[in-house]
Amino acid sequence: MTVEDVMRTDHGPALMLSNEAVVRGALESDVKVVSFYPGSPVSEILDTFGEVLDHFGDYKMEIAANEKVALETVAGASMAGVRSFTSMKSVGMNVASDSMFSMGYTGLNAGCVCLIADDPFAHSSQSEQDGRYFGEVAYVPMIEPSNAQEAHDMVRWAFEVSERHKTLVIMRTTTRVNHSRGMVKLGDLKRTPFERKSWADVKGQYFTVGSVARALKAKLLEKKAALQKEFEKTKFNFIDEGKGTTGVITAGVCYLHTKEAMRNLEAELPVLKIGTLFPLPEEKIADFLKRLDKVIIVEELTPYLETRITAIAKEANPTIEIIGKKSGHFSEMLEYNVPIVEKVLSDVTGSEISLDYDAILTRAEELAEVLSNRVPIFCPGCPHRGTLWAFRQALNRLKIRDKIVFNNDIGCYSMAFLPPNEFSDSMLAMGASLGLSAGMNLVLEDKVIAMVGDSTLYHAALPGIVNLIHHNSNVTLFVLDNSVTAMTGQQFNPNSEFNAGGHPARKINMEKFFEALGAAKIAIIDPYETRDCIQPIIDAIQIEGLSVIISKRDCALYGDRLKKRLGEKIVPSENVKDTCRSIYACVKEFYCPAILVDEDDRKMKIQQDLCDGCLECRQVCPVDAPRHIER
């Protein structure tokens, strides 16, 4: 239940987050190199490996600049003869996939496993991207667990499959699985010391182009056939026997929703649980279909299984009725849960639903009407709040609020899209603001402004920046230098003095780097000196070429942790009844959650346990009302 469980030497059972169970499974597999770029819902995998790094001391870990580098790092380690592991969020594989496709062809050496986590409902992602197709298009085996125990067991198995077939193995999860805890029976934790290898002992050829690629493709098809044969027999594709000729095929967390829905309905349908998404156990599926006259396919997002099962049914059982998305029973949108699955099973089997879920939802909606939305906002003390405020003031003073286009990027600052800022004309994917700016700058008469965080800068913005400077494009770029990758949990990045496990690392010098590239102007601002930021922003916006505004201040959550470690106190702002004039700039323009309005005297009231003492609000206040508590 805590990181302690990852280090236990007994066999549990331990209550573990699936993400922790994955780490444990990889450690039991004697993994030797891990590399990650953070992203929800897999950040805890990175964080946990970091926390136990010094405890084990027998594996190497890096927080990589991006997912492509992370995947290449672990592939390189596999080629060099040691087991390796990475994980990334759904869209991370888009970045990594260029190399991943080639890896399919070349194959790898020591066990190499990559976890990708999709996010139905887009809880914390740009899209509900369905990553299950990656396995099939790249000819890389893909497996999917449904709970913590399976996540643990499947990682161990994945290392074996990877080594047996000399291939990368992808384990696909969804947010609901990553962020679920369950009981896990642990395996032996047999670690071996880290040893350097000699290339002569491990070497292979990892090269693909033209005729080599064609030869490799032929071998790849053989590999696929061999994997398929093995997957027909694996225990991770299994049937829960039941009664009747209506059955269910499902995978991942939907298997759990299905089983619980069946318990609620007291239904005993046979269920085929798919653990290998690619290659699918086609024979097992065909045999299962032959016993049925109706099959219900329960899967979130696209009809990945449904389409393939429909194709299998064409030969195995052409008259079978298929209940799924095409039949209109299930949606391609959002996340599923027990009520959603129970309703369909009840419809199809005629068993009575265990509770009137719709009535409950309707009543709940009415009861919750009095609530106002908790839209995501910046934390108390967040430097982004000040930067964006100053940015808005600069635009107002220049009277160009309607004559700019603002391409936002991915990080906490994406929230500029929400009140009280409510401006951002685009936000697609990490680093995309630069390329979009290039295109808009070619066409628009407006000033083009882009914004990236430090992590995004080094993740995918560099080529776009080089491109802008090379083409003498007229763009102003904000770089929000808060020392860490804040949004995903304040992990270190190339702009930090530390890396995995808190070990020292070299911080890349951002100013020198922009200087060397030939940026037209580099302005450095401190968002806590909020008013003083306005003029430099005005100046930068008016310059031709690529002007860069670097806003420097530690992420507040990270900064607070550093303070705590140093024994420094956070001194909140006082409740300033004497100076507050009820102007409410701190409310309207700033949205700091520490600030309330006192209903009696209508002055600002600062929630002492929330206030971070940054005093950005004093800078925003026309009469300088807020001030630190005197101690």
Binding other proteins (rule: CB under 8 A), the pick from 118, 119, 144, 342 is 342
Q: Report angle CA 505, 487, 121 to the nearest 5 degrees.
A: 135
Stretch that binds other proteins, among 11-19, 222-230, 391-399, 449-457 (CB under 8 A): 11-19
If one asks whether residue 357 binds other proteins (CB under 8 A), the answer comes out as yes
Give the pair of three-digit tokens for residue 571: 């001194």
Q: Is 155 exposed, middle or buried (0-12, 13-18, 19+ CB in 10 A)?
A: buried
Nearest CA to 408 out of 420, 395, 394, 422 is that of 422
Closest of 414, 406, 262, 284 to residue 338, by C-alpha: 262
By CB under 6 A, what part of segment 612-631 binds ligand TPP?
A: none
- CB-wise, 177 or 457, nearer to ligand TPP? 457
**Which does residue 330 touch among ligand TPP, other proteins, none (CB within 5 to 8 A, set by kind)?**
none
**Interaction residues for ligand TPP, span 57-76 (CB under 6 A):** 67
The partner in contact with residue 91, picked from ligand TPP, other proteins, none with C-beta cut-offs of 5 to 8 angstroms by kind, is ligand TPP
- 417 vs 262: CA distance, rounded Å: 43
Binding mask 250-269 vs ligand TPP (x if CB under 6 A, - otherwise)?
A: --------------------
Report if residue 347 touches other proteins, rule: CB under 8 A.
no
Which listed residue (19, 407, 485, 575) binds ligand TPP by CB under 6 A?
485
Q: How far apart are CA 120 and CA 128, in angstroms?
A: 5
Nearer to other proteins, 44 or 163 (CB): 44
The torsion angles phi and psi of 190, rounded to 5 degrees, stand at: -100, 100
Of the residues 234, 310, 337, 535, which one makes contact with other proteins according to CB under 8 A: 337
Q: By CB under 6 A, is residue 455 in contact with ligand TPP? A: yes
The mark string for 416-445 relative to ligand TPP (x by CB under 6 A, - otherwise) is --------------x---------------
Query: Which one of 592, 606, 617, 625 is in contact with other proteins (CB under 8 A)?
Result: 592
Q: Taking CB under 6 A as the rule, does residue 338 contact ligand TPP?
A: no
Amino acid at 267: A
The H or E element containing residue 165 is helix 148-165
CB of 159 to other proteins, least distance (A): 26
- The letter for the amino acid at 446 is D
- CB-wise, 111 or 453, nearer to ligand TPP? 453
State which of positions 85-124 bind ligand TPP (CB under 6 A). Answer: 89, 91-92, 95
C-beta of 163 vs 342, nearer to other proteins: 342
* Residue window 388-427: x/- pattern of binding to other proteins, with contact defined by CB under 8 A: ------------------------x--x---xx-------
Q: Is 454 in the site for ligand TPP (CB under 6 A)?
A: yes
CB neighbour list of residue 24: distance below 8 Å, 6 or more residues apart: 5, 6, 16, 152, 184, 186
H/E stretch holding 374:
none
The secondary structure of 301-354 as a DSSP string is SS-HHHHHHHHHHHHH-TT-EEESTTTTSS-SSS---HHHHHHHHHHHH-PPPS
Q: Residue 188 corresponds to which tokens in the numbers above? A: 């032996």
Smallest gap from Cβ 409 to ligand TPP, in A, equals 7
Give the tokens for residue 32: 């030797």
In angstroms, the CA 265 to CA 193 distance is 52
Q: Which stretch binds ligand TPP (CB under 6 A): 37-45, 218-226, 228-236, 321-329?
A: 37-45
Q: Which member of 270, 303, 386, 453 binds ligand TPP (CB under 6 A)? A: 453
Q: CB-wise, 508 or 596, nearer to other proteins?
A: 596
- Would you say 333 or 364 has its CB closer to other proteins? 364
* Part in contact with other proteins (CB under 8 A); list of ranges 7-15, 299-307, 397-405, 500-508: 7-15
554 binds ligand TPP (CB under 6 A): no
C-alpha distances in Å from residue 65, one per residue of 34, 73, 501: 14, 11, 16
Q: 246-251 and 294-298 as β-strands: parallel, antiparallel, unpaired?
A: parallel
Span near ligand TPP by CB under 6 A; candidates 78-86, 385-393, 434-442, 453-461: 453-461
Q: Can you tell me whether residue 194 is helix, strand or coil?
A: coil
Of 296-304, 456-464, 488-496, 511-519, the segment contacting other proteins by CB under 8 A is 488-496
Please state the closest distance from residue 532 (CB atom) to other proteins, in A.
25
Among 233, 544, 593, 623, the residue binding other proteins under the rule CB under 8 A is 593
From the list ligand TPP, other proteins, none, pick the one residue 376 interacts with, judged by a Cβ distance below 5 to 8 Å according to partner type: other proteins
User: Which residue's entry shows tokens 């006259």?
Assistant: 293
What does the chain come to in residues? 631
Q: Considering beta carbons, is residue 242 or 420 the nearer one to other proteins?
A: 420
The residues facing 491 across adjacent strands are 485
| 410 is an interface residue for ligand TPP by CB under 6 A | yes
Q: Is residue 237 within 8 Å of 142, Cβ to Cβ?
A: no
Q: Which long-range contacts (CB under 8 A, 24 or more apart) does 352-357 make?
A: 352/265, 353/264, 353/265, 354/264, 354/265, 355/264
Which one of other proteins, ligand TPP, none interacts with residue 162, CB within 5 to 8 A by kind?
Answer: none
Kindly identify the residues of this chain, within the stretch 163-222, that bind other proteins according to CB under 8 A: 176-177, 179-183
Chain position carrying tokens 């009725």: 321
Q: Which stretch binds other proteins (CB under 8 A): 98-106, 303-311, 370-378, 568-576?
A: 370-378
The answer to the question of residue 412 lying near ligand TPP (CB under 6 A) is: yes
C-alpha 319/C-alpha 341 separation (Å) is 24
- Encode 107-162 in three state secondary structure: CCCCCEEEEEEECCCCCCCCCCCCCCHHHHHHCCCEECCCCHHHHHHHHHHHHHHH
For the residues of 405-441, what is the DSSP string, one character each? EEE--SSGGGGGGSTTT---SB--STTHHHHHHHHHH
Binding mask 251-280 for other proteins (x = CB under 8 A): --x--xx-xx--xx----------------
Distance CA 621, CA 386 (A): 12
Q: Shortest distance, CB of residue 335 to other proteins, whole angstroms? A: 9
If the CB atoms of residues 483 and 573 are measured against ligand TPP, the closer one turns out to be 483
Question: Judged by CB under 8 A, which of 9, 372, 445, 567 binds other proteins?
Answer: 372
Closest separation in Å from C-beta 42 to other proteins = 10
- Hey, which residues does 577 pair with through a beta bridge? none
Residue ranges in contact with ligand TPP by CB under 6 A: 37-39, 67, 89, 91-92, 95, 410-413, 430, 452-456, 480, 482, 485-488, 555
